[in-house]
Amino acid sequence: MEEVERLVKKYFEFVSEKKFMGLKCKSCGAYILPPKSICKKCGSKEFEWVEFSGKGSLHTFTVIHVAAKRFLNDAPFVVGVVQLEEGPRIMARIVGVDPNKPETIKTGMPLKVTFIESDEKVLLAFEPEK
Amino acid sequence: MKRKVAVIGVGLTKFGKHPKVSSRELFAEAAFKAIEDAGIDLKDIEEAFVGSFLPDVLEHQGHIAPLVIDYIGLTGIPATHTEGACASSGAAVRMGYISIASGLRDIVLVAGVEKMTDFPTSDVTEALALASDDLFEAAEGLTFPGVFALMAKAHMDKYGTTEEQMAAVAVKNHRNALFNPYAQFHKEITIETVLNSRVIAWPLKLFDCSPISDGAAVIILASEDVAKKYTDTPVWITASAQASDTIALCEREDLTTFKAARIAAEQAYKMAGVEPKDVDVAEVHDCFTIAEIIAYEDLGFCKKGEGGKLIEEGETEIGGRIPVNTSGGLKAKGHPVGATGVAQIVEVVHQLRGEAGKRQVDGAEIGLTHNVGGTGATVTVHILRR
């Protein structure tokens, strides 16, 4: 029996190896993140994994002061929606900024990918592009 | 042929803290009130739909629909649990509506119930975050208040909405709750109370957030012929709509609006044959203050981007152009998440029957409810008419 490639599982395997990978539709060329079983633009189910540039900008953000149990030790921390150069947006930790001075964090600021470790896992994060 | 559907009975528990009182007991209190209000016998109920979000996680109790109806002496009839995060019981109302409109049933019980206050805040925060995309968003540390904080920041950036305008929503809803005996809070607050409260998820502060609550709400729905046997004052459900969206926020094109709310509202207005300007009173999902401002825009009570101005100018106060959350809303009435959708219907029924006392909107004929699940991946909109 042919093995089905589990896209979500594969994505997080890449993250655990500190690689920022996403899907590219083989039919229309659209970049897709988070992974989906179908391209919402053209309906194709044929993809290839490509490494994303890791460059983007801050679309919106919040500073989490009251965290869920598993992240109590991290608070306060910044979580933001990152507009990626390839088109999709992704939710990520924003590091290298001061969570106690949200007025100094600017939407639109250029970011680059990095990875942090929390909750015994590697997490996707972005930091200001110097 | 679609049949007309009436609400013939309503019941609520007080919202707030009920230490050591379980879901089944909260449900029973509201259910017996609704059954008495409708004037039916227990044995007249043909089917039950029970909305609840977190009984399995918080109370360690699954299979809640047959469990709660058994506690009031009902077995044998079909009992189904609906779950759509904080729109769990909005979805139950729609199931009840469908079962009567389709001709399958004549009398249906619809409930919402949630037990939340016996558990530590960090456990509740973790549990509520289940309504986010766990792998891609909650796993990054995003909380439920965080979801709405991201949208608040986007709304502030795009439309210049201010923290003061958001605070004004909380002030209004606390004032309305003063006149609601079922509300969790009976305390007037000021803009400063909100602005000076501690930060939960910047820019949202404690008083921008609805509280953690226990409570239950129950309504009895009936077909037209049956309704007329039991009451001279039926309230008709003239529209029942529900829509969905991506759970993950990062996949949404516009973070200043809920697409599912706009789709459900458009369908509901069409189904009821009314326009936003015809609505006399509305209960909207103000789980966070920014959510009420976005609701004004999504429901067409004002233009996109002008929600902040609408609250600032007092248009949504009792006595204003479109009174919103006369009950005190989720913010001050309380938000036992799975009970909220049905509780909103209960408030609108009180308003349309002219039973709302000091919070009564004079001559209200058409009411609307707007129930948002989680990140807005499920939204229900109902329109009622006397």
Beta strands B107-114 and B47-51, pairing class: parallel
User: B203: cis peptide before it, omega within 30°?
Assistant: yes
Catalytic residue among B155, B335, B370, B382: B335
Number of A:B CB contacts under 8 A? 105
The mean pLDDT value for B210-220 works out to 97
Q: Of A106, A117, A91, which is closest to residue A16 (Cα–Cα)? A: A117
Identify the three-state secondary structure at position A45. coil
Residue B145 lies in a domain: yes
What are the sequence ranges of the domains in chain A? 7-51, 55-128
Predicted confidence (pLDDT) at residue B61 exceeds the cutoff of 80: yes
B86 is catalytic: yes
**Contacting residues of A for B249, CB less than 8 Å apart:** 81, 91
Specify whether B288 is located in the same domain as B378: yes
Specify whether B76 is located in the same domain as B195: no
Inter-chain residue contact B150 with A80, CB threshold 8 Å: yes
Q: Which of A8, A81, A103 to mutate to test the interface with B (most CBs of B within 10 A)?
A: A81
What is the CATH number that goes with domain A55-128?
2.40.50
Q: How far apart are CA B246 and CA A120, in angstroms?
A: 28
What is the count of structural domains for chain B? 2
Quick count: other Cβ atoms within 10 Å of Cβ A121?
12
Distance from CA of B180 to the nearest CA of A (A): 30
Inter-chain residue contact A65 with B153, CB threshold 8 Å: no
**Contacting residues of B for A94, CB less than 8 Å apart:** none
Residue B6 pLDDT: 98
B209 is catalytic: no
Specify whether B316 is located in the same domain as B333: yes
Q: Are B381 and B261 in contact (CB under 8 A)?
A: yes
> Is the CB of A30 inside 8 Å of chain B's CB atoms?
no
Helical segments of B77-231, H only: 88-101, 121-128, 144-159, 163-177, 191-195, 224-230
Quick count: other Cβ atoms within 10 Å of Cβ B54?
25
The helix or strand, by DSSP H or E, that contains position B266, with its residue range, turns out to be: helix B259-272
Q: Of B255, B261, B211, B290, which is closest to residue B376 (Cα–Cα)? A: B261
Residue position matching structure tokens 């049956």: B226
**Contacting residues of A for B202, CB less than 8 Å apart:** 62-63, 65, 102
Task: Give A55-117 as a DSSP string.
Answer: EEEEEEEEEESS--GGGGGG-SEEEEEEEETTS-EEEEEE-SS-TT-GGG--TT-EEEEEEEE
Of B122, B137, B141, the CB nearest to A77: B141
Residue A5 pLDDT: 75
First to last CA, chain A: 49
Residue position matching structure tokens 């009840």: B96
Residue A13 pLDDT: 96
Q: How far apart are CA B231 and CA B62, in angstroms?
A: 35
Inter-chain residue contact A65 with B121, CB threshold 8 Å: no
Distance from CA of B148 to the nearest CA of A (A): 9
Inter-chain residue contact B136 with A123, CB threshold 8 Å: no
Q: Which of A64, A73, A83, A107 to mutate to test the interface with B (most CBs of B within 10 A)?
A: A64
Specify whether B230 is located in the same domain as B91: yes
Residue B124 lies in a domain: no
The mean pLDDT value for B339-348 works out to 98
Specify whether B304 is located in the same domain as B204: yes
Specify whether B189 is located in the same domain as B287: yes
Mean pLDDT score across all residues of chain B: 97
B364: which residues sit within 8 A by CB, 6+ positions away? Answer: B280, B281, B351, B352, B354, B386
Catalytic residue among B86, B209, B287, B302: B86
Residue B127 lies in a domain: no
Q: Could you report the per-residue pLDDT of B17-54, keeping only the tens digit for each? A: 999 999 999 999 999 999 999 999 999 999 999 999 99
Inter-chain residue contact B202 with A8, CB threshold 8 Å: no
Task: Give the orientation angle of helix B88-101 with respect to helix B340-352, to 10 degrees.
Answer: 60
Residue A123 pLDDT: 95
Residue position matching structure tokens 């149990």: A69
Residues in a beta bridge with A79: A62, A93
Specify whether B170 is located in the same domain as B279: yes
Residue B290 lies in a domain: yes
Residue B102 lies in a domain: yes
Residue position matching structure tokens 């919070």: B359
Residue B327 pLDDT: 98
Specify whether B59 is located in the same domain as B166: no
Inter-chain residue contact B122 with A68, CB threshold 8 Å: yes
Residue B296 lies in a domain: yes
Specify whether B268 is located in the same domain as B155: yes
Specify whether B201 is located in the same domain as B325: yes
**CB-facing half-sphere around the CA of B261: CA atoms within 13 A:** 28
Specify whether B169 is located in the same domain as B312: yes
> Is the CB of A64 inside 8 Å of chain B's CB atoms?
yes
Residue B255 lies in a domain: yes
Inter-chain residue contact A63 with B125, CB threshold 8 Å: no
The mean pLDDT value for B188-200 works out to 98
CATH at residue B280:
3.40.47.10
C-alpha dist (Å) from residue B369 to B181, B200, B262, B305, B329: 20, 27, 13, 21, 11
Task: Encode chain A (130 residues) as per-residue pLDDT tens digits.
Answer: 566 679 999 999 999 999 999 999 999 999 999 999 999 999 999 999 999 999 999 999 999 999 988 898 999 999 999 999 999 999 999 999 999 999 999 999 999 999 998 878 899 999 999 7
**Contacting residues of A for B250, CB less than 8 Å apart:** 34, 81-82, 88-91
Q: Of B97, B124, B132, which is closest to residue B342 (Cα–Cα)? A: B97
Identify the three-state secondary structure at position B9. strand
Specify whether B85 is located in the same domain as B223: yes
Inter-chain residue contact B202 with A72, CB threshold 8 Å: no
Of B123, B145, B150, the CB nearest to A66: B145
Distance from CA of A25 to the nearest CA of B (A): 17
Task: Give the orientation angle of helix B163-177 with respect to helix B289-298, to 10 degrees.
Answer: 90
The helix or strand, by DSSP H or E, that contains position A11, with its residue range, turns out to be: helix A7-16
Q: How far apart are CA A40 and CA B147, in angstroms?
A: 24
Distance from CA of A100 to the nearest CA of B (A): 10
Q: Are B368 and B261 in contact (CB under 8 A)?
A: no
Q: Are B50 and B27 in contact (CB under 8 A)?
A: yes
Residue B299 lies in a domain: yes
Residue B307 pLDDT: 98
> Is the CB of A27 inside 8 Å of chain B's CB atoms?
no
Q: Of A86, A112, A91, A74, which is closest to residue A30 (Cα–Cα)? A: A86
Give the angle subtended at the CA of B320 by the CAs of B314 and B324, to the nearest 5°. 85
Residue A2 pLDDT: 64
Chain A residue closest in CA terms to B155: A60
Distance from CA of A1 to the nearest CA of B (A): 28
Predicted confidence (pLDDT) at residue B94 exceeds the cutoff of 90: yes
Residue ranges making up the domain that contains B302: 132-212+238-385
**What proportion of chain B, given as a percentage, has pLDDT over 70?**
100
